[in-house]
Amino acid sequence: MLLDVRDLAVAYKDKEGREVRLIDGVTFQLRRGEALGLAGESGCGKTTTALSLLGLLPQNLYRAEGTIDINSTRGVMHVHRRTERGLRDMRWNTVSIVFQGAMNALDPVVRVSDQIAEAIELHDPGMTKADVKARIAELFGYVGINPNRAKQYPHEFSGGMRQRVMIALALACNPELIIGDEPTTALDVMMQAQILELLENLRRDFGLSMILITHDLSVLAETCDRVAIMYGGQIAESGPVEQLYAGPQHPYTQRLLGAFPTIGGPRELAPAIPGVPPDPADVPAGCRFWPRCHRAQDRCQVETVEERPLGEDRTVRCLFAPWPDTAEAP
C-alpha cells in the first residue's frame, strides 16, 4: 500500500468564522503501481483532494480532519503532520503532479530546461551541470520530444507538446506517485489518446503509481485499475473499474454512466441529471445527492449516509445499495 488516506476533510472559515468543508470523510488507498481514477463534476473536490496530498492547499484552506500516509521507499511519511519544510522535501521526489496544460502551467519567461534543472538541483544538489543536462535529455527522450528543444520557452511548444514537457518535469526527481489533474482536458481527442498512452507506458516502465483526476469517464475506463466517484466533497462510490462500470451501485454513478452512449446501443438521448451540485456552504441534510437522485426516498432526506464496504475492494455511500438492478428507474 503506497498511499493511505483516511477521513480527510478540508475546509475554510467563512466570514462569520464558521467552518465550511470542501471535502469530507474522504477515504481511499492506492497500491504501488496502481492507477486510481478520481472522477466527478466540477467543484466536487477532486483537485482539493489532490492538492492535499502534496500539502499544497491555498492559504485560506486547512485540513480539518483526517490523515494522509505515504509508504515510500524513503520511509513512512505522515503528510498531514509535516511542516512546510518537511513537505518541500517530499514534494516532487515522492509525489509530483501534472496540471491541466493551460497556457501558464510553466513559467513563461524561463527556458524549459532551466525549469526542469531547477527541480533536479533542488532535490539533488550534488549533481554536476553535465549530469543535469544529460538527465534532461533523458527525460525528453521518455516523453518523446527532441532534446534540442529543451532550451526553448514554454510558449514555443504546442498544447500537446507542452503537456509532454510537464510530464517530463513531473518525472524529473523519480517520484513514486504521479497525480494527473485533468491532464488531457484541454487537448483534442488525438492528443488525449497520445498523452494517455504515454502515461500508461511510463507507469509500466517505471512502476509508477498514478492518480488520474478527470470528469471524463471514458478516459478512466481505459487507463485506470480502480475508480473513485466523488460528489459534493465525498466519495460516492469506489471500486475496480470493470466492476463499477458493469454494475454501478450509487444512483449518481448509474446516471453518469447512462449519460455516455455506447456505440452499439439504442439510439436515444441520455437524460441529463437535473439540478446542480450542492454549495459546500449549504449542504443538504441527509444524503448529499438526494435532491437530484432518481431513486431517492424519504429516509434519504434525513439520515446521514456513511460509506460502506460492498464486498472486497468496493465501497458505496448509499442507504439502499446493493441495488437489485443497476439500470435507472424508468
Q: Give the footprint of other proteins on this chain (CB under 8 A).
A: 54, 56, 87-93, 96-97, 99-100, 102, 104-110, 118-119, 122-123, 153, 155-156, 169
Among residues 158 and 218, whose Cβ is nearest to other proteins?
158
- The DSSP letter of residue 303 is S
Provide, rounded to whole angstroms, the least separation between the CB of residue 190 and other proteins.
Answer: 24
Among residues 89 and 216, whose Cβ is nearest to other proteins?
89
Among residues 43 and 258, whose Cβ is nearest to other proteins?
43
Among residues 52 and 253, whose Cβ is nearest to other proteins?
52
Provide, rounded to whole angstroms, the least separation between the CB of residue 119 and other proteins.
Answer: 5
Provide, rounded to whole angstroms, the least separation between the CB of residue 185 and other proteins.
Answer: 13
Closest CA to 29 of 69, 86, 59, 89: 69
Provide, rounded to whole angstroms, the least separation between the CB of residue 195 and other proteins.
Answer: 17
CB 291 within 8 A of CB 282: no
CA angle 202, 205, 209 (to 5 degrees): 65
CB 8 within 8 A of CB 27: yes
Provide, rounded to whole angstroms, the least separation between the CB of residue 152 and other proteins.
Answer: 9
Residues pairing with 209 in the sheet? 177
Provide, rounded to whole angstroms, the least separation between the CB of residue 109 and other proteins.
Answer: 6
Q: CB 309: neighbour CB atoms within 10 A?
A: 11
Q: Is 13 helix (H, G, I), strand (E, B) or coil?
A: strand
Provide, rounded to whole angstroms, the least separation between the CB of residue 105 and other proteins.
Answer: 4
CA 100 – CA 43 distance, rounded (Å): 15
Annotate 13-37 with b (16+ C-beta within 10 A) or e (fewer): eeeeeeebbbbbbbbbbbeeebbbb
Task: Enter the C-alpha cell of residue 195.
Answer: 498523452
Among residues 118 and 328, whose Cβ is nearest to other proteins?
118
Among residues 105 and 283, whose Cβ is nearest to other proteins?
105
CB 326 within 8 A of CB 295: no
Provide, rounded to whole angstroms, the least separation between the CB of residue 42 and other proteins.
Answer: 16
Among residues 181 and 237, whose Cβ is nearest to other proteins?
181
All residues at 6 or more sequence positions from 316 whose CB lies less than 8 Å from its CB, including other chains: 236, 237, 238, 249, 250, 307, 308, 310, 322
All residues at 6 or more sequence positions from 106 whose CB lies less than 8 Å from its CB, including other chains: 112, 115, 154, 162, 165, 166, 169
- The DSSP letter of residue 301 is G
